[in-house]
Amino acid sequence: MLQAGLEMEKLSNLHTGLGMFCRNLGASLLELNPKDIHFQFYLPPNRLELFGKNCQILPQKTWHRWSFPRKYRTDVWHCLHQDSPYFPADGIPLLLTVHDLNFMQKYSGWRLESRKRRLGKMLEKSAAIVCISKATGRHLEEVFGLSTEDYRVVYNGNSLRHFPAERTVSQPDMKPFLLCLGVLSPRKNAHVLCGMMAHLPGMNLIIAGPQHGDYQKKILAEAHRMGVADRVILPGEVSEEEKYRLLMQMEGLVFPSLAEGFGLPVVEAMSLGKPVFLSGFGSMPEIGGAEAFYWENFDGMHMAEVVLSGLRKAALPEASAGLKKQAALFSWQKAALDYCEIYRSLLKRSF
């Protein structure tokens, strides 16, 4: 039986994109339960019980960065993100999942070159490479000279949990609102939505997600500058149930991200038949497809016009079905099948 080790250190925070990726892929692999593969999950100390007793647990320790235990022997090792410092000795085939190259926008100078060298070494060490979107793959080609034959695209699935309908009932006095979901960081570009809101006087804007650095201050400053501070709401990180309620009640999702490897909130919103308004950067056109509405620039009036026009089109009877069909293209069950196929191919290659 094939022993597949999955590095899931990022599960230490379940509310980040990488944390959700690890959790959903792990759960889908266990649900698939292939007869020829035994899973060994490398888990942080606070998540050792997350998957129950259906898999072998390899507890993560910080010192493993420098000396990986020989007893953690696997046939294939899967690093679930490109920055992982945890992998066994040479000789075990390594599968690397690359989510994005956002560090290219975040860093400059020696920090940028250091990150590039580090990822370059990981790519060289890998027996197989997976990208979570074609956009990420193209970025690897541009920066590292890879070809389309050097990697495979395996899309993420839809992680949205559904809750009983009675919990999603709107308050009678609630003003219609647009929703932006995600970590509050500069690459999410959420502050440009404040200029848009100046041209949408009948709506509120909810920007929900954990804070990263002091970017929240920039959003609030821009809201005050545009005179919409009373209509821009930042509730912080929300639970899965609250997220579902917000998605059900919103008029549409607004997602002006500058760099996105996949864009999970987009799929979640479309799966409920809700319109999505996106930037044209990164994977957004790939994930939203022809069903989404796109901004050509971040001028506030232009953004508002796209939203108003899109909301009118989204009210047509056929619009919801099209959005749900687009969202259905992204499935954790399919991702699990694809990854198992790659694990098997790596084992064959190692003999």
The per-residue pLDDT for range 71-128, each reduced to its tens digit, is: 898 999 999 999 999 988 778 999 999 999 988 888 889 999 999 999 999 999 999 9
pLDDT at 348: 74
The residue type of 244 is Y
Question: Could you tell me which of 346, 305, 276, 282 has the C-alpha nearest to residue 133?
Answer: 282
Q: Which residues of 247-269 are buried (b: 16+ CB within 10 A; e: fewer)?
A: bbbbbbbbbbbbbbbbbbbbbbb
Q: How confident is the model at residue 249 (pLDDT cuts 50, 70, 90)?
A: very high
Query: Helices 17-32 and 332-349, interaxial angle, to 10°?
Result: 80
Strand segments, DSSP code E, in 163-310 are: 177-181, 204-208, 232-236, 252-255, 276-278, 293-294
Does the pLDDT at position 53 exceed 90?
A: no
Per the prediction, the chain carries an average pLDDT of 92
Q: Which residues of 14-29 are buried (b: 16+ CB within 10 A; e: fewer)?
A: eebbbbbbbbbbbbbb
* Residues 168 and 195: beta-carbon distance below 8 Å: no
The backbone torsions φ and ψ at residue 210, rounded to the nearest 5 degrees and listed phi first, read -65, 150
Q: Is the dihedral of CA 312, 317, 322, 324 positive or negative?
A: positive
Quick one: tokens of 347? Answer: 């084992």
The per-residue pLDDT for range 185-225, each reduced to its tens digit, is: 999 999 999 999 999 999 999 999 988 789 999 999 999 99
SS3 content of the chain, % helix, strand, coil (to 5): 45, 15, 40
pLDDT at 350: 55
The per-residue pLDDT for range 17-44, each reduced to its tens digit, is: 899 899 999 999 999 999 999 999 999 9
Can you give the C-alpha Rg of the chain in angstroms?
A: 21
The per-residue pLDDT for range 142-161, each reduced to its tens digit, is: 999 999 999 999 999 998 98
pLDDT at 169: 53
Does the pLDDT at position 166 exceed 70?
A: no
Q: Which domains does the chain have, with CATH numbers?
A: 2-157+331-349 (3.40.50.2000), 165-327 (3.40.50.2000)
Q: What are the distances in angstroms from CA 146 to CA 62, 125, 138, 151, 323? A: 32, 14, 9, 8, 33
Does the pLDDT at position 244 exceed 70?
A: yes
Cβ neighbour number for residue 316 with a 10 Å cutoff? 9
pLDDT at 351: 45
The residue type of 11 is L
Pair type for strands 204-208 and 128-131: unpaired
Does the pLDDT at position 167 exceed 70?
A: no
Question: pTM for the complete prediction?
Answer: 0.90
pLDDT at 224: 97
